[in-house]
Amino acid sequence: MHNQPNSERSREAFTLIELLVVIAIIAILAGMLLPSLGRAKDAAKRISCVNQLHQIGLASTMYASDNKGDFPERNTGPRWPDRWYPYFKSLKTLVCPGDIAAGGKNTPATTETRTNLVADSAPRTYIMNGWNDVFSEQMGADFNMNSIINKTINESVFKEPADTVILGEKLYSSGHYYMDFLEGKLGNDIEVLNQGVHSTTVRTDTGGKGGGSNYAFADGSTRFLKNGRSFNPVNLWAIVDHWRTNAIGSLN
């Protein structure tokens, strides 16, 4: 038995340059694929978020059906998460999967400390419509945030249920339960909405100007709207015609 010539062995093995070329190609392909994988992962989380919000939206319609069409009254607890909890049944439903970053950095805040209010005190992605325009129309000069405590609305007031928002996504740091667009001079709760949380290159607590968010509507549907589209060209948080078409555009 004799040894193979060195020239034959060298033809059967990779040279250092060839190995470096292969590694470079793999790195380029990985660089091309990773952004696509990231977008696919974000899309999957957004779809999961839509599905969970849809469950809460359905819980709101079932609650109304069991209470002669009434939505939960505005109060300091039990609020809407606790009132609807028997219908959606899992606290995880209250948190969009994309809201929980590594280490819980972006886990949504809550301001309720009473642990007996199980859903009210749980982390929560969503904020409910405060129906300010309806109460303002009904109460006139007597309308203010204190005057609407224990007030509720009936589903019969929805003129366009498919285009009337019940729930939207809020900033992680906000513990607000109700979106009051008539509170304060400029409607301070507009500022706690996270209108650009999805489909953005950087996911932040302030939402940014791009992307969009998920919304549940009075007809039980759920859909994604681009940033700002819940207010313009129509204020989908309002029911009264004046507030739907005129008063909110200047706030965005």
In the 8-state DSSP scheme, what is residue 75? Answer: S
Whole-angstrom distance, CA of residue 85 vs CA of residue 63: 10
Q: Which two tokens stand for residue 202?
A: 């950087």
In DSSP notation, 87-124 reads HH--GGGGS-GGG--GGGTTPPP-----TTSTTTTS--
**Cβ neighbours of 23 (radius 10 Å):** 10
Q: What pLDDT, in 10s, does the model give residues 5-16?
A: 555 545 556 677
pLDDT range class, residue 200, cuts 50, 70, 90: low
In 67-198, where does DSSP find H-type helix?
80-88, 132-139
Q: What pLDDT, in 10s, does the model give residues 29-85?
A: 777 666 655 555 666 666 788 889 999 999 999 999 999 999 999 888 899 999 999
Mean pLDDT of the chain: 81
pTM above threshold 0.85: no
Q: What pLDDT, in 10s, does the model give residues 74-119?
A: 888 899 999 999 999 999 999 887 766 544 556 777 788 898 999 9
Determine the pLDDT at residue 197: 80
